[in-house]
A and B are shown apart, each in its own frame.
Chain A
Amino acid sequence: MNRSFFARSLSAALIAACLAPVARAAQPAQLLDGYSAQAGAPPMADRGQKLFTSRHGREWSCASCHGAPPTQTGKHASTGKSIGALAPAFNTERFTDAAKTEKWFRRNCNDVIGRECTAGEKADVLAWLLTLKP
């Protein structure tokens, strides 16, 4: 499996989505569709929740900085800096920029799991985040 090929085609798809004339900024649901299509399987929110709240043999879970559930302001586990709520229903800026989303998945999965996340894992997490409502 060639991850960089997938990453490139995913990026291309997401960039294309961003440049669509109707909506320049992506919507969380569009990003979720993109990741699901890339994974070739429907997302599972439960699996996303588990990934998000568990540690993966390392120091941090996603929740270490974003909180569990990530519906309020979080706090960087190392620097203490506050981090805006992650769930889109609580922070409308979240998951509206494909490149930004990819950048943070890349960095944070690397910190939490020690590798980049697969498209399926990203879809699962995003699907779970979208279930969180006020």
Chain B
Amino acid sequence: MHRLIRGPVPRPLFALLAALAAGSAFAEREHAVRLPLLPKYLQECAACHVAYPPGLLPAASWQRIMSNLSRHFGADASLDAASAKELSAWLAANAATSKRVQEAPPDDRITRSAWFVRKHDEVPARVWKLPAVKSAANCNACHQQAQQGIFNEHDVRIPR
């Protein structure tokens, strides 16, 4: 029951852009969000937050996150050993590989990655503080289809 994650651009255009942007973080992320998500990942991780595409963090970040689940960004997200092992392997296999995304962001937070900050630099500070947004980690507050892995700029609706 894999859910196919669609990228923001149509396939032919995507191919062209991907070719043009080969090796860039852009291509990396476009590839990353097209990955079918592991059912276990949806079940265990997406219970509390958006199913962040694994290609948005480097393997080292995922490894640190998975080895510290009992203190997971302020909450206990501890898992049974078998589930943790399955998820760790899948995250490692699908982590970012491009040079730019390979750099671990501060605190291993996707939202503190250089590309994330740059992509969101036009969002006013007050928007992040809206009750409906609460946190930059709450992708679907603005990205209407984030739960489906779609982060297309045209689907963005900033709450008021």
**A residues with CB within 8 A of B:** 76, 78-81, 103, 106-108, 110-111
Give Cα A76 to B73, complex, Å.
13
Chain A interface mostly helix, strand, loop or mixed? helix
Residues of B within 8 A of A110 (CB): 70, 76, 78
Contact of A81 among B76, B80, B138 (CB under 8 A): B138
Instruction: List 25 A-B residue pairs with CB atoms under 8 Å apart, sorted by A's residue number.
Output: A76-B48, A76-B49, A78-B48, A78-B134, A78-B137, A79-B50, A79-B134, A79-B137, A80-B132, A80-B134, A80-B135, A81-B49, A81-B50, A81-B140, A103-B79, A106-B76, A106-B78, A107-B75, A107-B76, A107-B77, A108-B76, A110-B70, A110-B76, A110-B78, A111-B76
In the complex, A110 Cα to B140 Cα: how many Å? 27
Please, how many angstroms separate the alpha-carbon atoms of A110 and B134 in the complex?
23
Contacts of A80 in B (CB 8 A): 132-135, 137-138, 141
Query: Which residue of chain A is the closest to B137 with respect to CB atoms?
Result: A79
List of B residues within 8 angstroms of A106 by Cβ: 76, 78
Give Cα distance in the complex from A78 to B134, angstroms.
8
Kindly state the separation between the CA atoms of A43 and B137 in the bound complex, as whole angstroms.
38
Flag whether B74 is at the interface (Cβ < 8 A). yes
B132: A residues at CB distance < 8 A: 80
A79 (CB) vs chain B CBs: closest residue: B49
- 8 Å CB contacts to A: which residues of B47-80? 48-50, 70, 73-80
Q: Which residue of B lies closest to A60 (CB)?
A: B75
A107 to chain B, nearest CB (A): 4
A79 to B134, CA, bound (A): 7
B132 to chain A: closest residue by CB = A80
